[in-house]
Amino acid sequence: MTHLQAGLSPETLEKARLELNENPDTLHQDIQEVRDMVITRPDIGFLRTDDAFILRFLRARKFHHFEAFRLLAQYFEYRQQNLDMFKSFKATDPGIKQALKDGFPGGLANLDHYGRKILVLFAANWDQSRYTLVDILRAILLSLEAMIEDPELQVNGFVLIIDWSNFTFKQASKLTPSMLRLAIEGLQDSFPARFGGIHFVNQPWYIHALYTVIRPFLKEKTRKRVFQVMHSASPHYSNTSSDVINLCCEKLVKENLRNNCESFVTKRKHLIFCLFIYLFIYLFIYFH
């Protein structure tokens, strides 16, 4: 074990070896191989290339050197392309502060039985009059930056639960394709975190329709890890994350169950209508 693995428990060390292909004997060589690729992207300002920093990208990509480097490059490229997001990237920034205050994100004290950190978002908590969706994204990224310093979480990763109870159509109308693309690029393509599952709880029909639109733009691995849950009794949900159920569902679902009284025909019409609207908006923004 090298000093770079000093923060890992024996169990996590073994997990890193088996699941991430992490080898203490070649660790410094692995890091150097990624660092040597930096010169291939002179268009990007790599503000950090120290061992500990590069290691988190290797862990996020299971020690595939090129994939780790590509993620490292995208991390800094995303920040270069969205300078306004990172100008005042600290907890005291008014927008970030308000979003954090409203629980974007919230984190449970207990880890799941895989050692993953459970992050919880109550979507309806968003107060549009005080901060924007970009502020929420910034708050999430800032929180992840702090949490990913923990080597245990670099290996074990995160589980994200989004409770859509009482999230209004007016709020959902702000989830524009450009905003969603910004979030996908920032979290899926440009951040060195391992997400073991993303669980949608109690989503209304318009969120289901929106997910249908953006699903093709998600990576296959991400698509497989998104679970949509209407009720706490969902067998699919309990089979995939029974420990998350035990820790979260009594608070997230049982207290926030919505009365689903729309007919199937009405839902289907709403879904198709919303699907076409969001698809039209996305194509308009993408090609302009």
The model's pLDDT over 77-92, given as tens digits with 9 standing for 90+, comes to 999 999 999 999 999 9
Q: What is the pLDDT of residue 219?
A: 76
Decide: pTM greater than 0.75.
Answer: yes
Higher pLDDT residue, 144 or 236? Answer: 144
Structure tokens at 82: 């969205």
The pLDDT value given to residue 267: 44
Interatomic CA distance for residues 64 and 42, integer angstroms: 22
Dihedral in degrees, nearest 10, Cα atoms 116, 118, 119, 124:
150
Q: What are the residue ranges of helices labelled H in 62-176?
A: 65-81, 94-101, 133-147, 151-156, 169-172
Q: What is the pLDDT of residue 264?
A: 34
- 214-225 b/e (C-beta count within 10 Å ≥ 16 → b): beebbeeebeeb
pLDDT tens digits, one per residue of 187-225: 888 999 999 888 989 989 888 888 888 888 787 877 776
Sorted by sequence, the CB contacts under 8 Å of residue 240 that are 6+ apart come out as: 197, 227
SS3 91: coil
Q: Which two tokens stand for residue 199?
A: 């669980």
Residue-level pLDDT at 59 = 98
